[in-house]
Amino acid sequence: MVAANGHAIRCEGLTRHYGDVIALQNLDLEVPFGSIFGFLGRNGAGKTTTMRLFTGLAHPTAGRAWIAGLETTNGDYRARESFGYLPQDPAFYGWMTPREYLDYVGRLFGLPDKERGTRIAEMLELVGLQDAAKRKIAGFSGGMHQRLGIAQALLHRPPVLLLDEPTSALDPAGRYEVLEMLARLKGAVTIFFSSHILADVERICDHVAVLHKGHLLLVEEREALLARYPINTARVQLDPASPPAQAFVADVQAQPWLTSLTEEGSTLRLVASDVDAAKRALLPLMVAHSLLVTRFEWVRPSLEDIFLQVSA
């Protein structure tokens, strides 16, 4: 199904107030078909409220929203077929197996018996649960739960997939599994991916929007957004045999050109306000402290750096 306006998701003036609390204010947004759209915001920014308004689980104070050309904010029951939805904390019947659960979901959507069986097999293979199809869901890991949730959201072949914080509660292995699967879906379905984990969004999303305290701060293609920011960040990776870096860090922190410095294991990330001055000073400082360096490069700010700037 292709919307007449050419957008997988569109909303105009979407607003939700809870008494005096403004959860979302005048959201205007357009999501192109086939994109993996990252919807970023701190906890409490209004991301889940937006999802609930898109799905019709909450009613807007003002404004309207459409998914694949069908309005979802007016109670039109046909709109439920235009999207699949995975909430932040999905709940399953633990006594069921994945095959039984997907059969139950398929019946709710009115899929005929033959089509339902074929589609269940396709979904189990897509999310890598075919070998666990007869296991009880109660024994699944977090990553397996999320993959099953995506399978149920895609079962009825919707053109749009809405995911609310799908990796927030997962361990690194579970996050990797889910992100790899979403990357494979690119182009086959439009994915609206709400998250506060910026590394996940930077990894798979091609469009980014930032929501802050219920207000949309920016929306842009990811590469265009990153290209707008100058190369002002140095990454220094230390060799395991290098002397401790505490004295070097102290000296760098005293430099007038330093904006911020973070340590991530053996890697230092330095953001400079005066890149030329930093380039002149950094190498002599590393030599003076006898650091053993395996990698030293100047890079653009990460999506996390940009997010912290615009949502400060």
| 263 in any annotated domain | yes
Task: State how far the Cα of 301 lies from the Cα of 232, in Å rounded to an integer.
Answer: 7
Q: What is the pTM of this model?
A: 0.83
Same domain for 237 and 300, yes or no, is yes
The domain that holds 298 is classified in CATH as: 3.30.70
pLDDT at 312 over 50: yes
Q: In what order do the strands lie in the sheet with 258-264?
A: 258-264, 267-272, 233-238, 293-299
Of 200, 227, 254, the one marking the end of a domain is 227
Same domain for 223 and 239, yes or no, is no
DSSP secondary structure string, 190-233?
Answer: EEEEEES-HHHHHHH-SEEEEEETTEEEEEEEHHHHHHTS---E
Same domain for 213 and 252, yes or no, is no
Same domain for 303 and 178, yes or no, is no
pLDDT at 301: 79
Of 227, 250, 285, the one marking the end of a domain is 227
Same domain for 90 and 40, yes or no, is yes
Q: How confident is the model at residue 23 (pLDDT cuts 50, 70, 90)?
A: very high
Of 227, 250, 268, the one marking the end of a domain is 227
Q: What whole-number percentage of the chain has pLDDT above 70? A: 98
pLDDT at 4: 40
Q: Which range is most confident: 68-77, 151-160, 190-199?
A: 151-160
The domain that holds 169 is classified in CATH as: 3.40.50.300
Positive or negative torsion for Cα 245, 248, 250, 253: negative
pLDDT at 293 over 80: yes
* Helix (H) / strand (E) containing 172: helix 172-184
pLDDT at 50: 97
| 98 in any annotated domain | yes
| 111 in any annotated domain | yes
Task: State how far the Cα of 114 lies from the Cα of 125, in Å rounded to an integer.
Answer: 17
User: What domain range includes position 301?
Assistant: 233-310
| 87 in any annotated domain | yes
* Angle formed by the axes of helices 98-108 and 113-126, nearest 10°: 130
User: Within 13 Å and on the Cβ side, how many CA atoms surround 253?
Assistant: 10
pLDDT per position as a tens digit, 170-204: 888 888 888 999 999 998 999 999 998 888 998 99
pLDDT at 71: 94
pLDDT at 5: 54
Task: Tell me the average pLDDT across 103-124.
Answer: 95
Task: State how far the Cα of 162 lies from the Cα of 191, in Å rounded to an integer.
Answer: 6
Same domain for 243 and 207, yes or no, is no
The count of structural domains within the chain is 2
Same domain for 199 and 298, yes or no, is no
Average pLDDT for the chain:
92
pLDDT per position as a tens digit, 237-256: 999 999 999 999 999 999 99
